[in-house]
Amino acid sequence: MNPLNHPKFQKAVKIIDRIESCGGEAYIVGGAVRDYLAERPIGDVDLATSFPPEKIQKIFDKVIPVGIEHGTVLVRFESESFEITTYRTETGYKDYRHPDEVVFVKTIKEDLARRDFTMNAMALDQYGNVIDPFNGQKSLAEKEIISVGNPSVRFNEDPLRIMRALRFASQLNFTIEEKTLAAIKIQSSLLEHIAIERTALELEKLYGGAGFRKTVPLLLDSGVARCLPLFKEDPSLLNNLPKQPLKSFKELAAFFCFLKPSWTIKRWKTEWKLSNRTGHSAAEILNSIVNYKKSNGLTPWLVYQLSEDLYESFQNVAAALDLAGKHELTKEMDDIYHSLPIHSQKELAFHAEDLINTKDHLAKGPWIQRGMGQLERLVVERRIKNKYSELKEWADQWNPPESN
């Protein structure tokens, strides 16, 4: 089958046809080519072209100049976005990320020479032929991560490529070629120049990869751990391999905070520059894991309190810590959830206004929230039925601490 008949490539083929009808060249490049040849799910489809950005802007109606100074634009075509970059070479990386100078070149082979790894330095032409000047197909067949050209030069250009090599090794379950790995060990300290948010994204993908168990030890062996927040304090903690992949940074933080409580979620949030949402979710997962351990299993209150969108993450972390089997835990949580008498405080037959009315001699205060919380738990744990009369009877007898 012609690879350009693949559903993910069909709109890109139309873009290529339009560019070529105007006298230019265009190819599908990068990760989409790699993943197609590796028979993996294909993500974004990027293109490289001989035309400068200004010409692409004239050919297509909807063009966003996302990186036009470096030859990159985003083309909206048939409700999808395609990143199109002019053939280029790059020189000088004083900030260890962006090239000091971009020079547009004439051929796809010159463009591919600037890429990080051989498996990412391939292109597909309009006939489905693979352009592979650096033997990327060979590296895929032999399951090796190999730098394009001199690995030391590649890593000095952008040290994040060190983390990308490790991440790809985990995701693809590949090994890292000897010279490439040797350069990583020598240049690992360059990661200190990289924004921690970029490093965090690669670490997250690494721990979610199928080959994480053989790749995580490389963080120690290569010296990369000495550049990672928290882990540089105690690299040996990386020897605690999860029993299964961790799919997000919130799971990663909860996993290691459980193993080492002094590494609080607050520290993870600060040192890894996590978003408030990620930090809050990690704290909620960790709290549920701690309660699961204390209770020696699931309880209705634990299942009730945990946000539904975090159920899977909780299950992943519990299984990663070898506290429970993922499949069994998932079924048990589903059973408990569907048997809960209520799923939110709004479903209580007795509301905050009712509680206030039973204590109309008291000024409003924190006691209201506390009382409703106690009622909520009593109902969830089936110590009181969710009936107005029974809930009011409890409220009548309840003596708020603030009223003492």
Q: What is the DSSP string of 8-76?
A: TTHHHHHHHHHHHHTT--EEEETHHHHHHHTT------EEEESS-HHHHHHH-S-EEEEEGGGTEEEEE
Domain ranges of the chain: 1-140, 143-241, 249-336, 345-403
Segments of the chain with pLDDT less than 70? 1, 91-100, 402-404
Is 158 within any annotated ligand binding site? yes
End-to-end CA distance of the chain: 80
**CATH code reported for the domain at 143-241:** 1.10.110.30
Query: Class of 1-140 per CATH?
Result: alpha beta
Is 46 within any annotated ligand binding site? yes
| pLDDT for the residue 302 | 98
Could you tell me the two tokens for 118?
A: 């051989």
**Distance between CA atoms of 166 and 117, rounded to whole angstroms?**
12
DSSP state of 309: G
- The tens digit of pLDDT for each residue in 77-104 reads 999 999 999 999 876 566 656 666 788 9
| pLDDT for the residue 404 | 46
Is 31 within any annotated ligand binding site? yes
Is 44 within any annotated ligand binding site? yes
Taking the alpha carbons of 63, 64, 68, 70 in that order, is the dihedral positive or negative?
negative
User: In this structure, are residues 319 and 331 in contact, taking their beta carbons and an 8 Å threshold?
Assistant: no
| pLDDT for the residue 97 | 61
Give one DSSP letter per residue of 197-256, joined into a string: HHHHHHHHHHHTSTTHHHHHHHHHHTSGGGGSTTTTT-GGGGGS--SS---SHHHHHHHH
- The tens digit of pLDDT for each residue in 229-249 reads 999 999 999 999 999 999 999
Is 167 within any annotated ligand binding site? yes
Longest CA span, the chain? 86
Is 209 within any annotated ligand binding site? no
Topology (CATH level 3) of domain 345-403: Serum Albumin; Chain A, Domain 1 (1.10.246)
- The tens digit of pLDDT for each residue in 166-185 reads 999 999 999 999 999 999 99
| pLDDT for the residue 5 | 77
- For tokens 């996993």, the residue is 255
Is 43 within any annotated ligand binding site? no
| pLDDT for the residue 327 | 92
User: In this structure, are residues 257 and 285 in contact, taking their beta carbons and an 8 Å threshold?
Assistant: no
